[in-house]
Amino acid sequence: MDFKLSEDSKEFRKQFRTWIHDNLLDEWKTSSSVTNENTAEIRRQWGKKLFEGGWIAPTWPKEYGGLGLSMEQELVYLEELVSARAPEELNSNVIGVFGPTLIRYGTDEQKNKYIPKILNHEEIWCQGFSEPNAGSDLAGLQTRAEKIGDKYILNGQKIWTSFAQYADKCYVLVRTNPDAPKHEGISMMLLDMHQPGVTVRPLKNLVGTTEFTEVFLEDAIVPENDVVGEINQGWEIANHSLANERGTRMAQRALKMRQEVKDLLHLYKELGDEDLPVEEGLIDSFISAEVVRSVSIRNMMLLSEGNLPSFYPAMGKLTWSERHQKMLDLAFDMLGEKALMEGSQYSHWIHNLLYSRAGTIYAGTSEIQRNIIAKGLGLPSLRGGK
């Protein structure tokens, strides 16, 4: 799927490309030189730089501090960031996933209080959804919120909470009616992470970094004016957030995959090993990247029109995550032991390969995505239900 850009979008590309060139430091660019210790600070500084330059929150309405871009301009925006190998801003999750939800469901008080600090990165946010026994089955969450006076008391545990060790706030799903059907007794609240009763423990993942954490809540407090939407409306609100995560944010991952395929072709030429039987895999990777990009663009277009069927984002996420893993498997086949040698110039490939394993888990496992698609098409689910 290709577009002929309007003159306005061409001018937008020129301006944004120039700004990135003038403001993105070489040491901020995504590469193997970026270590676990400084990644968070790099992403925070880049977020501040985007805000100061007036380039933050591309899809947000202008009245809330965003750019209010058209779908075409948003695609250009993402293409330029990926082409420049810019990092994601540290608040990318809340800006891309929760921000539109807060704008839709939040009170004026909440918007005025939180949105400016989200955009300028004065406050860092994390997402408190998954639990040890409620990952793929998110509606099975057990963290409780009990109302006492004008506040809620939270008790429970969250897991796989990205960058919670740096977060000031958390948008969290909690159970407010334990007697209701599991999809109906959930609420979304805004949690202050800097209070007694909130304990964050980083978890070392497969690639040796500590992006993920587990969060323990013991009598943590949320004022009642920090409930988003109505009490027990949390499942609807969470699905609005997840649609953003599986829809618009997938487009950036799709474009990154396209860039990785270009890097893979360059690697093939660099290795110069004619005995490597990888030509078919390279062609498949190229086609996969184009398919994923087209699916993502279609979803962006439908989302911008307010006409995105619920199972379309699941199709995009499923297609990207599985084909991305296959592409990185090919890179490892090409490199072999070269990717594993200490200090190797190719070590970022094995890092990406290992990290890609999370792609078929976060934002809903591949099995969950297939069930969502099946339900949207009127087909039986993987468990045999409807």
Structure tokens at 227: 């409930």
Gap between the Cα atoms of 320 and 332, Å rounded: 18
Choosing from 72, 89, 245, 260, the catalytic residue is 245
Q: Which two tokens stand for residue 20?
A: 């990135």
Query: Six-digit token pair at 96?
Result: 């891309």
- Residue 214: its H or E element: strand 212-223
Calculate the CA 257 to chain-centre distance.
15
Kindly provide the b/e burial profile for residues 162-196, where b requires at least 16 CB atoms within 10 angstroms of the residue's own CB: ebbbbbebbbbbbbbeeeeebeebbbbbbbbbeee
Phi, psi for 91 (deg, rounded to 5): -95, 25
Cβ atoms of 221 and 151 within 8 Å: the answer is yes
Residue pointed to by tokens 């007794």? 185
Do residues 116 and 107 make contact, with C-beta atoms less than 8 angstroms apart?
no
Which residues, including other chains, have CB under 8 Å from residue 363's CB and lie 6 or more apart? 242, 245, 246, 317
Retrieve residue 290's tokens: 């184009």
| 230 has catalytic annotation | no
Which of the residues are catalytic? 245
